[in-house]
Amino acid sequence: MNEKMSKIFSLSISESKYFNDKQDKIEIVGCPRGGKDCVVHLSAINKSFLASSRTMRNKEYARSIEALKDAFYKTDELQDSSCLKCAELFRSTITQSLENIHVDLQKMTGGLFFRKRYQYSYALATTALEEFKKKI
C-alpha cells in the first residue's frame, strides 16, 4: 500500500519521463555548411533553453524569461547569409516558448484564484514578448 502511494505522489518518476534535459531543444538537421558556423552559438542557445526549462519547472519564471531572452539575443550573432534562415527559425522557437510561459502566467494572475506573486513575471514576459516581436 505504501509503495503504491509513493508512486502516485512521486513527481520524479513522471518528471524524468516527461522532461528530457539531455536532448537539445534545437538541433540542426539540414545545413548547407553542415552547421559548422553556428555550433558554438547553437550550444549557447540550447544551454539557455535548458536553463529556462529547469527554472520554469521550479516556478522561477523571471529567471526562465531571462534565459529565453539570452537565447533570443544570442541568435543575433548568426550573421552569415546561410545562417539567417536558421536564426529566424531559432527566434520563432524561442518566441513560441515565451508565449507559452506568458499564457501560463496570464492564467495564474487572473481569474478567481489569482496569485499576486506571479504578476511581476507576467509583466516581464509581456515586455519580453513585445521586444521579440519588434525584432522579428
Per-residue model confidence as pLDDT tens digits over 62-78: 999 999 999 999 998 88
Give 21-43 pLDDT, tens digit per residue: 666 667 766 776 666 667 788 88
pLDDT of 105 above 70: yes
- Look up residue 84 and give its amino acid: L
Query: Average pLDDT of the chain?
Result: 80
pLDDT of 10 above 70: no
Provide the pLDDT for residue 35: 67
Task: Sort residue 31 into left (φ over 0), alpha (ψ -120 to 50) or beta.
Answer: beta
Is the pLDDT higher at 2 or at 89?
A: 89
pLDDT of 48 above 90: yes
Residue 11: pLDDT band by 50, 70, 90 thresholds?
very low
| Sign of the torsion angle spanned by Cα atoms 67, 124, 73, 46 | positive
